[in-house]
Structure 1
Amino acid sequence: MADWRLRLAPDAWLLRGPAGAQRAPVEGDPASALAQLAPARRGGKLQVVLGDGALRYLALRWPDGVRSGGERAAWLAHRFAQVHGVAAPEWTIVTDRDAVGAGAIACAVPAALVAAVRGFADAHGLRLDGVAGGFVDAYNRLRRGFDEAAGEFGALALARDGRLSVGLWREGEWLGLRSQALGADVAATARAMIEAWRLGSGQGEAGGTLYAVGFTPEGPAGWRALRREDAAWA
């Protein structure tokens, strides 16, 4: 367990640790705002969570014939440039190392943020204990309570920090992941995303469970829709 938790919200960095919490407003460059924070003591483990608004996500399936590390890196770079218009050196791309099957999730992070977080840890003698996006952090924390039946779909939808982030999986394999600004009808938007991915998977007849944080969900026909709490996000 980390001693310190650093989170990037839309308008501030939030640092929580043994001595309480600190807040550093972000009024421009998030990286430079980190200098306003000062842990009460040196040393310990630091967990970092970056809000989904700062990131770019992709759910993907590796094409046949793309196997080596170099081939996958080149293909990923092409996909992020094509879908999100981002590329190195301004962005750093990371992939899910624990992916099941041919599906995986990938994330592009501003390189300046990565450098700033590492610099903050070094300056205060902290050991980085992981850097994750808000959606992935929540999924990893809440997944122990997921109980969709074997062979069915599972989906997680988060409405917070002015964004809706939704992911869909089946039997451990990711089928879709998207984060976008909150709209007027959060439940309908989340359901529409899931429906599109479900039908596109070719396995649309399977049932599923939608887990939601921050709003009352409405799942596709025949699905369970369950609201969850995520107190650790605060």
Structure 2
Amino acid sequence: MNLDQHGLIGSWANPATSGQGVLMDVELDFYGTSVGLLFGGWFTYDVSAAGGPRWYTIQGQVHATDAAATMPIYLTDGGAFDSAQVTTTAPVGQATLAFSDCMHGTLQYSFSDGSGRSGDIPLSRLLANVTCAPAGDNGNSAADYLLSGAWADPRNSGQGLVFDWNPVQDVLFAAWYTFAADAGPGSGAAGQRWYTLQAVPVPGATTVNDIGIYETTGGVFDHAATIMTAPVGNASSSITRAVRRR
């Protein structure tokens, strides 16, 4: 399975542990021919439901000829919602990603933060495949799928969104990695917050209005739990269309 391809961009999750998952972005040939950069936003929870939301990022090289890729897991904390309050990012473990095909993969994790957490998460793609093929790009038109990936405001330290624009199903899904509005510099991981966004965009449109913002609570890290998802707001997105990827 060629891991150095845009086709792996999108939303991935384990159906058995609803309310958590990973949104991935792959920058093709970022480090050179057949060596790309994979970035993943992992939205999940503390080890108990009372602990609240947690999120991590994973980032590393992916090679077209390797069946799996191993990279650090990072924790970012200290920020405040939509603020330049300085954050701290540090490695807290290691993850290995492998994909058996364009719809299924595995996230193996091992934390070094003293929690002793380790395990394997079976991943399934949540939205339709657009351009992925085992050997690389399948030749299908990417359309708005090329807008998928990691986006952020450089003025907001350590926070941003990972979008999954899916033209096959006409769905926009995103995870927003941020912090509580009143989180102080010493709030630690408890100050983290994440939200999901979802809308049905008009193909080719430069503006998407009435994007629902949702908060999901009650989850437990890598465990099935009774969760609740509720709308907490709405957003709009305006895009200046340009060639984003090489």
Fold in common (TM above 0.5): no
If the length of structure 2 is used for normalisation, what is the TM-score?
A: 0.29
Bigger share in helix: 1
The structure whose Rg is larger is 1
Bigger share in strand: 2
If the length of structure 1 is used for normalisation, what is the TM-score?
A: 0.30
